[in-house]
Amino acid sequence: MSHSRLVGFSDGVLAVAITLLVLDLHVEPGNGTDLLTQLAQAWPSFAAYVVSFLVIGVIWVNHHSILQLTGSIDRPLLFWNLLLLMFVTAIPFTTATLAASLADGSPTDIRVATILYGGGMTGMAVAFTALYARITDILTRAGAMEPRTRRASIVRFGAGTILYPLITLIGLLYAPAMLCGLAALSIYYLFNQTGTPAIEPEPPAPTR
Amino acid sequence: MSHSRLVGFSDGVLAVAITLLVLDLHVEPGNGTDLLTQLAQAWPSFAAYVVSFLVIGVIWVNHHSILQLTGSIDRPLLFWNLLLLMFVTAIPFTTATLAASLADGSPTDIRVATILYGGGMTGMAVAFTALYARITDILTRAGAMEPRTRRASIVRFGAGTILYPLITLIGLLYAPAMLCGLAALSIYYLFNQTGTPAIEPEPPAPTR
Amino acid sequence: MSHSRLVGFSDGVLAVAITLLVLDLHVEPGNGTDLLTQLAQAWPSFAAYVVSFLVIGVIWVNHHSILQLTGSIDRPLLFWNLLLLMFVTAIPFTTATLAASLADGSPTDIRVATILYGGGMTGMAVAFTALYARITDILTRAGAMEPRTRRASIVRFGAGTILYPLITLIGLLYAPAMLCGLAALSIYYLFNQTGTPAIEPEPPAPTR
Amino acid sequence: MSHSRLVGFSDGVLAVAITLLVLDLHVEPGNGTDLLTQLAQAWPSFAAYVVSFLVIGVIWVNHHSILQLTGSIDRPLLFWNLLLLMFVTAIPFTTATLAASLADGSPTDIRVATILYGGGMTGMAVAFTALYARITDILTRAGAMEPRTRRASIVRFGAGTILYPLITLIGLLYAPAMLCGLAALSIYYLFNQTGTPAIEPEPPAPTR
């Protein structure tokens, strides 16, 4: 299995998923309600669009970082990568459901949609951490990373598996707070590498 | 015809098709039924989403494996590849039809949708086997594979042309069993190469 | 402007456009009409799906062939390429309109949809021929092709600008005949290079 | 962060966004209004499709030009690139809203949709200019561009941040004039590089 084709396919799926988010945005000029009111009422769609866009953008950045660590691809790695992509591809659905619940749903619907959205993010984080664990396992067996360093780095990389459920709990109290928390977390991770110092001196990779 | 552009285009189509599956998932918060009930009733959509995602994921893995066998691309190869992509691209449609039939259709509708879904998978397997036969034909004529080895490997690779109709027959008795069977088959093939031993010692390919 | 990025972007657009064709396929199990009847009534959608898929597939093959002729990209070439992609991207729309007209429209609607579909194909062929003329102009000025050979090859490559309107005229008499004609033409061009002999001995390009 | 993967992902998003524009085109043969009338009434959709297609096409060309200036990618650059893509991805939404308002909305709706469309373009231009400023900052710090040249080139590159609001103001008087203005601007920029002379003698890049 070639590294470049794995990267190309994953990038393709991520690019399509991030762009499909736009399909959740829609208004109907001429349906009796003036457009400005419709746009104002659609704020959950816009907020969810921005947050999910940032989340997928950060997934892409980190996906790139961890796949750069190794050139050898095995079947379990492919499996975890496919599971990760399955959760990412579902984000436009959980995003649309959350936005529609905030706009038209009952308080119970909003809580259900919050759990669906946060649950999808958590599932993504679990698959991502499993993928990272597999990659570092390959490194450890090849002697390129010490088992102790690996364990510490998995704990750091896996922070999302704790943070996402926590943010979801906050969302159960007030859903927009979940969106703000996710946006803040994404921007933080966009500027700060998720890996540990031990990984940062990466093997020199071609820059083009 | 350049090998890399064939791979790039095929990967693009597979990436878009696998991501479009998410469009089959949708609920309508605020339509009178509470969201939790709607999500529960939409279980066929979720099950079909997971199964079709796995199936396309495995197609991608195997597509990569067999295209790596040769660097020379001819017109018949392009034709079979295009036919394969045509069946793959239709999967979001057959998936949506099966899920909607399981949710809202009559028993007859479910059987028709099962045949449509299984038939699409079978057509895909036939096109895939024809593509494989063409690739190994190129190898045999170049002296890189013995005709006898080739015949045996085609039989192995073409197992899907028998397995998919069989699973479809089971689906006529109980449609969810088809989905379970396809999921199990996909996970099996994700971890086990479909090719024969004769192909496995592949010509060394660049890993990046 | 890098050749590889032009090819990558064009391939991306072609891959998305060919996959979006599937969105034209949809039935509604449980709407009162049994699924088998719905599928039978949707035959124009299936026929149009197959034909448009073949047409875009052949566009991709030929696009690749002619872009391989030169490594130098200038602004007019970019313009014609963008115009070509604009017509290709519209194919899912003209396909859906033709299929819906065949299923539900009046005889006049069918004729209007036939002109829309054939007109889009003709526009595509004109943009494609202009792109080819630009590429061969670059070759001629670089001394890699004789002006006389170029003129002859443009006439051959531009056959679609005549053939598509002719097929459209036949479609005005009987629309399904247009679909059959386009399918036959596409399969012919999939197996036979559109260029002239003078182009076929291409400058050796990397096969991977 | 590898340059080639940044380019690949960005190209993927741009290719999907430009192709999703086609989803804004739709008519319903057999709904009581004849197809020709429906197509004529849908002129805003066609006009907006062409204009948005040209705009995204030119974004792609310029994105390529400025990313070619440097091989080193840092986190702020990733952030501005993601923000740019977020505005580009929203274009199919603002395009559909403008077209639907022109077709069915009140005069106030049309003005609101004009501000939404022009505002999205302006946001895109601001993100694009910030991306350009970041790239040239990297160049300046590496000694590859003089600070003075940089300032002048940012002013030139950032012209869109002034031009888009101006065109939007014209659109408030007569929306179709905005579309014509944007089309003219896009075609101008397609044939004329946005950069300054100082950038044009680019470091020699591989042409394939």
* Predicted confidence (pLDDT) at residue D82 exceeds the cutoff of 50: yes
Which residue from C1, C13, C108 is facing D15, i.e. has the nearest CB?
C13
Check CB contact under 8 Å for B78 and C26. no
Q: What is the tens place of the pLDDT at every residue in C49-94? A: 999 999 999 999 999 889 989 888 888 899 999 999 999 999 999 9
Check CB contact under 8 Å for C105 and D35. yes
pLDDT band per the 50, 70, 90 thresholds, residue D202: very low
Which residue from D8, D25, D207 is facing C2, i.e. has the nearest CB?
D207
Q: What is the tens place of the pLDDT at every residue in D87-122? A: 999 999 999 999 999 999 999 999 999 999 999 999
Which of B123, B113, B193, B130 lies closest to B165, judged by CA? B123
Closest chain D C-alpha to A18 CA, distance in angstroms: 8
Which residue from C22, C36, C61 is facing B20, i.e. has the nearest CB?
C22
D24 within 8 A of D99, measured Cβ to Cβ: yes
Q: What is the tens place of the pLDDT at every residue in A140-172? A: 999 999 999 999 999 999 998 999 999 999 999
pLDDT of residue A202: 40
pLDDT of residue A196: 39
- Residue B96: list chain C partners with CB under 8 A: 26
Q: Which residue of D has its CA nearest to C109?
A: D35
* Predicted confidence (pLDDT) at residue A173 exceeds the cutoff of 90: yes
Which residues does chain B have with pLDDT short of 70?
1, 193-208
Name the residue with tokens 């040209």.
D54
Q: Which residue of C has its CA nearest to B113?
A: C35
Q: What is the tens place of the pLDDT at every residue in A28-46? A: 998 889 999 999 999 999 9
| Chains near C (3 or more Cβ pairs under 8 Å) | B, D
Q: What is the tens place of the pLDDT at every residue in B38-93? A: 999 999 999 999 999 999 999 999 998 899 898 888 888 999 999 999 999 999 99
Check CB contact under 8 Å for C76 and D191. yes
- Give one DSSP letter per residue of A74-110, joined into a string: -HHHHHHHHHHHHHHHTHHHHHHHHHHHHHH--HHHH
pLDDT of residue A194: 52
- Residue C64: list chain D partners with CB under 8 A: none
What's the token pair of residue A48?
A: 């969810």
Mean pLDDT of the A172-184 span: 93
Residues of D with CB under 8 A from a CB of C: 7-8, 11-12, 14-16, 18-23, 25-30, 34-36, 39, 49-50, 53-54, 57, 60-61, 64-65, 68, 187, 190-191, 205-208
- Residue C67: list chain B partners with CB under 8 A: none
Check CB contact under 8 Å for C190 and B78. yes
| Chains near B (3 or more Cβ pairs under 8 Å) | A, C
- Residue B4: list chain C partners with CB under 8 A: 206, 208
Mean pLDDT of the C131-149 span: 93
Name which of D35, D52, D193 to mutate to probe chain C: the one with the most chain C Cβ atoms within 10 A of its Cβ: D35
Alpha-carbon gap, residue C121 to C59, rounded angstroms: 11
Which residue from C19, C28, C34 is facing B108, i.e. has the nearest CB?
C34
Q: What is the tens place of the pLDDT at every residue in A46-91? A: 999 999 999 999 999 999 889 989 888 888 899 999 999 999 999 9
* Predicted confidence (pLDDT) at residue A204 exceeds the cutoff of 60: no
pLDDT band per the 50, 70, 90 thresholds, residue D74: confident
Helix locations, D35-158, DSSP H: 35-41, 43-67, 75-89, 91-104, 107-141, 147-157
Q: Which residue of B has its CA nearest to A92?
A: B22
Mean pLDDT of the C171-188 span: 92
Residues in chain B: 208
pLDDT of residue A203: 43
Q: What is the tens place of the pLDDT at every residue in D136-147? A: 999 999 999 999
Answer with the residue of higher pLDDT: C178 or D201.
C178
pLDDT of residue D192: 76
What's the token pair of residue B105?
A: 């259709």
Check CB contact under 8 Å for B206 and A2. yes
- Residue D108: list chain A partners with CB under 8 A: 34-36
Position A10, amino acid: S
pLDDT of residue B54: 95
Check CB contact under 8 Å for A30 and D105. yes
Q: What is the tens place of the pLDDT at every residue in C87-105? A: 999 999 999 999 999 999 9
What's the token pair of residue A64?
A: 């790139």
Mean pLDDT of the D181-197 span: 76
- Residue B97: list chain C partners with CB under 8 A: 27, 29, 35
Cα–Cα distances in angstroms (integers) from residue C172 to residues C108, C110, C115, in the given order: 10, 8, 8
Position C148, amino acid: R
Instruction: Work out the percent of chain A whose per-residue pLDDT is above 70.
Output: 92
Cα–Cα distances in angstroms (integers) from residue A134 to residues A78, A129, A130, A154, B6, in the given order: 10, 9, 6, 10, 30
Residues of C with CB under 8 A from a CB of D: 1-5, 8-9, 12-13, 15-17, 20, 23, 71-72, 75-76, 78-79, 82, 85-86, 89-90, 92-93, 96-97, 100-101, 103-106, 108-109, 112-113, 116, 206
Name the residue with tokens 């953008």.
A57
* Predicted confidence (pLDDT) at residue C18 exceeds the cutoff of 80: yes
Furthest-apart CA atoms within chain A: distance in Å: 67
Other CB atoms closer than 10 Å to residue B180's CB: what's the count?
15
Closest chain A C-alpha to B119 CA, distance in angstroms: 24
Check CB contact under 8 Å for D71 and A190. no
* Predicted confidence (pLDDT) at residue C172 exceeds the cutoff of 70: yes
C165 within 8 A of C207, measured Cβ to Cβ: no
- Residue A14: list chain D partners with CB under 8 A: 9, 12
pLDDT of residue B113: 96
Check CB contact under 8 Å for B13 and C11. no
Which residue from A23, A35, A49 is facing D105, i.e. has the nearest CB?
A35
pLDDT band per the 50, 70, 90 thresholds, residue D30: confident
- Residue A16: list chain D partners with CB under 8 A: 12, 16
Name which of C14, C45, C93, C131 to mutate to probe chain D: the one with the most chain D Cβ atoms within 10 A of its Cβ: C93
- Residue B45: list chain A partners with CB under 8 A: none
Quick one: which H or E segment has residue B197? none
Which of A100, C6, C26, A23 lies closest to B19, judged by CA? A23
Check CB contact under 8 Å for A112 and B21. no
Residues of D with CB under 8 A from a CB of A: 1-5, 8-9, 12-13, 15-17, 20, 23, 71-72, 75-76, 78-79, 82, 85-86, 89-90, 92-93, 96-97, 100-101, 103-106, 108-109, 112-113, 116
Could you state, in order of their start, the residue ranges of all structural domains in chain A? 3-22+44-191
Which residue from A20, A21, A35 is facing D112, i.e. has the nearest CB?
A35
B102 within 8 A of B175, measured Cβ to Cβ: yes
